[in-house]
Structure 1
């Protein structure tokens, strides 16, 4: 009989535990609901004050937006030429340091004659989207290790130099539209006025023009040989057959190799012409953008920020009053 009573006690104990658990959950919901009612009552009691603060804050924020001049930015996309990337970053840092120091002498020397430095700033960063170029560079470095010949080394060196010249974005921030655009143009002129890199540009262009002239002379000679070959094809007694042709001096020439040589000359001429078009200045300007207003985040706008500050101050004062009242009751 005693053994039969033990399970009843355990069942009763389980029912008591479940009942206590439900009671705790119910008390928690009741407390939460009472807290919600207190907050609702607080907002209802102070609804007029809160509404006045929101309207006043929005009005003041709107007025500040009209009074305070908005910040403008201008973006210039550039590509460093002839290993001038480090120079580009150094000269931008130099200009920013002179802006912070408000060095009027420096800016007058580069043709900038205004003295209002408010909101003026210059930054530089690499244009996003060039991540694949880094993997291309690693691939070329790996390729160079497979074939240790001068031709392959020259090709890889040229490609590495080309791939390492990423596009960069120079961003100008300012508030005065006329002065800011003038400032941007003068700064870009100053960046591209480095005597060392100007000399390199002149040498590069002279070499490219000389290479084009030489290639064109060779191309004319190759065309003359091919023309003679075509004439010999028309005469059965002068045609030797096969892929080789017999010239007047009894020397044979591989016609397939000659055509390949002609194609390589044409490709090299096209490359040098493109190089002349690109290498006109140390820092190639790809796109000189238009001024655009800097867009602030939603919470950074005065029409939203000012009302939030007003409400925060009001809630802080109310909380301090509540604490003071509780301290008075306890004492």
Structure 2
């Protein structure tokens, strides 16, 4: 049995020519279809124009009222972060349910609720977080691996860490720009929670007692140093290695006393600052930023005209395809 003969160069050239001719015919058919689409558009331009005008008019008058988003940074005191987040979550859920009892309790209008939603996020400070947790890089990496999160921001804003942050961003969606005056009611709702009030009273009382105790110890330290200074000859008691005062049966480490007093003074100053800032569990520390919220679905005056024209051209294309195929079938006498 003889081996098959290879195709001649002439046959190969004919095959390439047929392929090129087929490609050329297909291209010209597509080009002709484009020309017909352009001719159809120019022929029925007035219908397209009417559809654009009708869509723009309908979209303009069917647009809902614009919404606004306000953001404010708040400070959480008394280690109340967990209660703050729970209170904001509860506030948002009651809004979504349109709970009339709740709305009356926070003095919000029931017929036209001015606030759409409330959300809170921590202001992330990674360095302070690591310093506060006092964990090594290896331990921190292990914690990160155990958490299922999508990005870095979501990681440090997760439930595992948000209680370690002092500052938080409160995000409120409003139905009107004037409704930003109602934001204070969200803050009041959190601060007036009975449990928050108890925490506040106990923490303030503890701070005041701590300040009083520190002041008493500092007065005693001054009296102790003064007493030993009067009863000792300073010039003969100074050592090259340590500054100490000696009495017959007692030894006083001046460096230790003064260092301890300085530590108490710094702590007392910080406690006084905390007391001044801790008027409430949640305190607003930034200006209110309000911006109009716009998304693509709010641009109905653009969406509707495009949609109407697309539907018109789509059905025109379906109609053209139907009659073209029908003529092709009729030309082959397949309908007889």
Query: Which TM-score applies when normalising by structure 1?
Result: 0.72
Number of the residue aligned with 2:281 = 282
Report the alpha carbon displacement of residue 206 of structure 1 after superposing the two structures with TM: 1.5
In the alignment, which residue of structure 2 is the partner of 1:116?
112
1:155 corresponding residue in structure 2:
none
Q: 1:83 to 1:272 in 2, by over 3 A?
A: closer
CA contact (8 A) 1:239 1:245 kept: yes
Alignment of 1:139-178 (within 5 A): 140-142=134-136, 164-165=164-165, 167-178=167-178
| Aligned partner of residue 284 in structure 2, secondary structure | strand
1:231 and 1:303 mapped to 2: Cα distance?
90
SS in structure 1 at match of 2:65? coil
Residues of 1 paired with 2:55 and 2:265: CA distance? 70
Equivalent in 45, 48, 59 of residue 47 of structure 1: 45
For 1:283-319, what per-residue CA distance to the aligned partner results, in whole angstroms no more than 9, with x for missing partners?
Answer: 333336244321223x531221221222133224424
**Per-residue deviation at 1:193?**
0.7
Do structure 1's residue 33 and structure 2's residue 31 form an aligned pair?
yes
CA distance in 1, matches of 2:80, 2:236: 61
Shift of 1:61: 3.4
For residues 29-52 of structure 1, give each alpha carbon's deviation from its aligned partner in whole angstroms, at most 9, with x where no partner exists. 333323332332222222232233
Cα separation, partners in 2 of 1:138 and 1:255, compared to 1, 3 Å: closer
1:1-331 mapped onto 2 (5 Å cutoff): 10-64=8-62, 68-117=64-113, 120-127=115-122, 130=124, 132=126, 136=130, 140-142=134-136, 164-165=164-165, 167-178=167-178, 180-223=179-222, 236-237=235-236, 239=238, 242-249=241-248, 251-287=250-286, 289-297=288-296, 300-322=298-320, 325-326=323-324, 329=327, 330=329
Unaligned residue ranges in structure 1 (runs of 5+): 1-5, 146-159
Higher helix share: 1
How many residues are paired up? 306
8 A contact 2:76–2:166 mirrored in 1: yes
What RMSD over aligned residues (CA atoms) do the two structures have, in Å?
4.0
Alpha-carbon distance between aligned partners in 1 of 2:292 and 2:127, rounded to the nearest angstrom: 32
Q: What SS is found at the alignment partner of 1:236?
A: helix
Choose 275-284 or 306-315, whichever is displaced more.
275-284
Kindly state the Cα deviation for residue 189 of structure 1 after the two structures are TM-superposed. 1.0
- Stretches of structure 2 lacking an aligned partner (at least 5 in a row): 140-159, 330-334
Q: Structure 1 residues 183-192 or 288-297, which shifts more?
A: 288-297
- Contact kept? 1:124, 1:168, Cα under 8 Å: no
Question: Mean alpha-carbon deviation: is it higher for 319-328 or for 92-101?
Answer: 319-328
- Report the CA distance shift for 1:135/1:235 in structure 2 as closer, same or farther (over 3 A): closer
**Post-superposition offset of 1:122:** 1.6
Q: Deviations over 1:235-286 (max 9, x none)?
A: 6345455413224455333344334323322332233233324433233333
Q: What is the CA–CA distance in structure 2 between the aligned matches of 1:141 and 1:273, rounded to whole Å? A: 29
TM-score with structure 2 setting the length: 0.71
User: Structure 2 vs 1, CA of residues 314 and 255 (structure 1 numbering), >3 Å: closer, same or farther?
Assistant: same
1:54 deviates by 2.3
